[in-house]
Amino acid sequence: MKQDVTRTRVAAVTACFAVLFVVVLALSLATGTGGVDIQGALATVRLGFPDDGAATVDQVILYQVRLPRCLFAGIVGSALATAGVLYQGLLRNPLAEPFILGISGGAALGAVVAVATGLAGLFWVRPVLSLAGALTAMALVFVVGRSGTTLRPTTLLLAGVIVNAFFSALIMFFISISTERQLHDITHWLMGNLGSADLVDLRVLFALLAAGFVCAWAQARPLNLLSMGEETAGYLGVNVERVKIILFVTGSLLTALAVAFSGIIGFVGLIIPHMVRLVFGSDHRLLLPAACLFGGAFLVAADTIARSVVPYAELPVGVVTALCGAPFFLYLLKRGESRIS
């Protein structure tokens, strides 16, 4: 029997997921193919290093390599999971996820163009072009999915599928004219890449994620009412069209933020909201913070597996999330069919 959602329960569950995130982060820092003396590296805790190069090899690995990467994975996972909650609420579709509306296709096209033109090595060119592609896709989907003053979820979904297909065709074109080295870079990025994080990226990403989460949290109650149906939500005082636009823009920007810096990492926005919803219910006042933190912990764990399971090699993190997400996706499909029958 589901418990009523109170502020105390929201705070307690959020605190539990925050502890889980910290535990997963600590385990990830201690895990890797190269042995690191964690106790020795933590003996002098610092996030910066002296100019005289006094930092040990273990400290460099821990603070300059693993910590930024783990925090980066946490931010990206949180953004994707939050976007998944918003899209599933907006479309009222349990199989909706951040990449279903074509945002990932636009971001991927921007990154592929950066690599194919040789501009990817310049400072922030690839994330900027990826973000521009994602925003372009968002604008196209919004224009096509909007009928007069109404944003129709079904039309929005179909528009996303079409836009994704169009951008995928353009990506295939650029891949076909790329060199072997460019093809390797493109393929690695398309499967998800969390190895390029630095502290500057982390500050920007965290600030944008925080802003996006605040916008999403502000719509938690209207989103609860919207899940009961647009007509019911309207009777209860919700400005339905305004809420749908806010949800679409916020979810799209969070997806664009994640994809622009990390590449395409699928299934996080699909399985995390469902896992939290199955345990704690569908009240978005609780679902949003829980999914945000759990999504971060999940992607940190997935990235740890990706960089540790094969000695002297690294799997794309998208492979790990797909191996976890695909069976869960099939489970949701079969569950939906059994309910219909």
Highest mean pLDDT among 64-78, 111-125, 171-185, 286-300: 286-300
**Considering all CA atoms of the chain, what is the largest pairwise distance in Å, rounded to the nearest integer?**
70
What is the model's pLDDT at position 52? Answer: 43
Strand partners, 50: none
pLDDT (tens digit per residue) in 23-80: 999 888 887 666 655 555 455 544 444 444 555 666 667 777 788 889 999 999 999 9
What is the model's pLDDT at position 77? Answer: 93
What is the model's pLDDT at position 275? Answer: 86
Q: What letter would DSSP give residue 324?
A: H
Q: What is the mean pLDDT of residues 99-113?
A: 84
pLDDT category of residue 294 using cuts at 50, 70 and 90:
very high
Q: What is the mean pLDDT of residues 321-331?
A: 79
One-letter amino acid for residue 289 of the chain? P
Q: Give the CATH superfamily of 7-42+56-340.
A: ABC transporter involved in vitamin B12 uptake, BtuC (1.10.3470.10)
Query: Closest by alpha carbon to 29, among 77, 76, 74, 63?
Result: 63
Rg from Cα positions in the chain: 21
Residue 195 in contact with residue 314, Cβ under 8 Å? yes
Q: DSSP of 108-159, one letter per residue? A: HHHHHHHHHTT-TTSTTHHHHHHHHHHHHHHHHHHHHHEETTEE-HHHHHHH
H/E stretch holding 278 reads: helix 268-280
**Domain definitions of the chain by residue range:** 7-42+56-340
Between 132-136, 156-160, 334-338, the lowest mean confidence (pLDDT) is in 334-338
Q: Could you tell me which residues come within 8 angstroms of residue 318 by beta carbon, excluding any fewer than 6 positions away? A: 190, 191, 192, 263, 264, 265, 266
Q: Could you tell me which residues come within 8 angstroms of residue 221 by beta carbon, excluding any fewer than 6 positions away? A: 284, 285
Over 90: is that where the pLDDT of 81 sits?
Answer: yes
What is the model's pLDDT at position 51? Answer: 45
pLDDT category of residue 102 using cuts at 50, 70 and 90:
confident
Share of the chain above pLDDT 70, in %: 85
Q: DSSP of 225-248, one letter per residue? A: HHTT-HHHHHHTT--HHHHHHHHH
Highest mean pLDDT among 192-206, 283-297, 324-338: 283-297
What is the model's pLDDT at position 248? Answer: 86
pLDDT (tens digit per residue) in 183-234: 888 887 787 778 777 777 788 888 988 999 999 999 999 988 888 888 888 8
CA–CA distance, 85 with 70 (Å, rounded to integer): 23
Greater confidence, 168 or 95?
A: 168
- State the chain's mean pLDDT as an integer: 81
